[in-house]
Amino acid sequence: MKKIKKADLARLKTLSDLAYTNPFSTDRIELEKIALGPAFVADDGIAWSRNLRDEETDRANVKQIAALASDLVQSIAQAARNGQTFDRHAWESYCDVVTYVLIYRHIVHLHPDEFPKAPLTRKAYEAFQNDYRGLMDVPGIEQVAIQPPDHLFACLCQVHRAFYNIFYFILGDSLPSVQLRRAVWESVFTNDMRRYQRTLFDRMSTLPTLITGPSGTGKELVARAIGLSQYTPFDATKKCFAGTDGQRFFPLNLSAMSETLIESELFGHRKGAFTGAITHRDGWLAKCQSHGGIFLDEIGELAPALQVKLLRVVQQRTYSPLGSTEEFKFEGKIIGATNRDMDAEIAGGNFRADLYFRLCADRIQTPSLNDQLRHHREDLRSLVYFVSQRLIGGDIQNNGDTQNKNDADGLTQQAVDWIQKNLGDDYPWPGNIRELEQCVSGIMIRGHYVPTGTAQPETDSPPWIQKAVRGDLNADQLLQNYCRWIYEKVGSYDGAARRLGIDRRTVKAKIEAGET
């Protein structure tokens, strides 16, 4: 057996760094270049992303690195058994690369949804454990602390699940898209994955995440990627994951619900807590397990009384259902989102500063579609394709059959041609991804798209404002139109009433009176 040389150990260190770097960062690509040298296969992206190039094939560099890592750890293990010694730093790098080898041998070929299935999980773990023992049972490795196989298996399955969620939910090759994927990964694992694996894996859910950005920029997709990527313990005795029989992600749109309904849905209630509460009911805080997440969309709309109760959940991790003084522990993750200027909301007394700063323990900003396309115009075709794919049939993770793919390709070309001819490269997409989805749907149905309603730029005043400026509306007509305008933006009578500071019934009456 050949002796391991310094060049091999240098490559081992590179692979060690690669194994624990953020896969969506530009650092990952640079480390691939160093590890593979002349064998590196260049592509157009600055970081990993889901685009048309990668829909049907794995990246060539990934296959090469997996093979290189496997050969290298086998060589080092055999050299150690033959008497060659290595220092502690070399063994630390060796353990890192072993994790990379194990995830590619036993985990990445499985769909994340398959892990809850007991027979598949048991089979995967048994193969993983046997391989782990063969690679970790080498003389000299006792110089370093190694993770037990059940915990390492849980961590690597989480890595696979998080990569899958981020890769499929957040699209685009633009720099803002790259930065967003990197930020979401760090929300799950922090910027030090080794430390996360050692000590933070069961603590990150206690830190809330706040997602800010313009309306229609995919904040719920970001929240879903985070909520579905939390650490789930693995029981080595039963050979299964904990709590895989329940829902993992609970989205709640606060702007579309009354204050009482929000409180009941979130905190639950006891029998007799209010009229119609004829039995006990658990809220989402009770249903959400430690490896799940609750998404509070439009959290800036939350009423002051509920802000106080949510602060207690975020700060003390406890809550009480409506009609009860009993305290319960909340162990999941809180994820909030808003498109409001929260500094202005705090200054205006509409949102508690202490709650805001608690929510900002981890903050993510979603970029506008205009920002993405300004940095990388080619993203338009990729984004249109994925919208077309969902419209034609098949889920976002699957190309579907050949006919579906051909129709998705055809709709993509039709939509891109229409957009370039009729909207041009400078169209600002004020409605963001949501508007792009409406645009592609309109082209599919009618062959064209008319930017209207909330898709109009905010700088374009509606006709009733122009009438008001000219003095052509009386006070009642002005209030009718303003109530309708706010209602269309918020989407509910309760949300509009909170925004306007008037009674819900007044809002409804003014809207029903008709627009002038």
- Per-residue pLDDT, averaged over 148-157, amounts to 96
* Mean pLDDT over the full length of the chain: 88
Q: What is the reported pLDDT for 492? A: 76
pLDDT in tens, 381-439: 989 998 998 899 755 444 456 777 789 899 999 999 999 999 998 899 999 999 999 99
* Whole-number Å distance between alpha carbons of 343 and 247: 34
Residue 93: beta bridge partners?
none
* Whole-number Å distance between alpha carbons of 110 and 150: 17
pLDDT in tens, 469-501: 878 888 888 888 898 888 877 777 777 888 888
* Whole-number Å distance between alpha carbons of 295 and 392: 28
The winner for highest mean pLDDT among 105-114, 133-142, 247-256 is 133-142
Q: Which residues contact 167 (CB under 8 A, 6 or more apart)?
A: 48, 49, 50, 181
- Which tokens belong to 135? 């690679």
What 3-state class would DSSP assign to 295?
strand
**What residue has token string 């650490």?**
231
pLDDT in tens, 94-135: 999 999 999 999 999 888 877 777 788 899 999 999 999 999
pLDDT confidence tier of residue 205, bands split at 50, 70 and 90: very high
* Whole-number Å distance between alpha carbons of 196 and 174: 28
- Which tokens belong to 29? 């690509």
**What residue has token string 């313009």?**
214
The answer on pLDDT for 453 being more than 90 is no
Per-residue H/E/C for 393-435: CCCCCCCCCHHHHHHHHHHHHHHHHHHHHHCCCCCCCCCHHHH
Q: What is the reported pLDDT for 466? A: 75
- State the DSSP code for 254: G
Q: What is the reported pLDDT for 43? A: 76
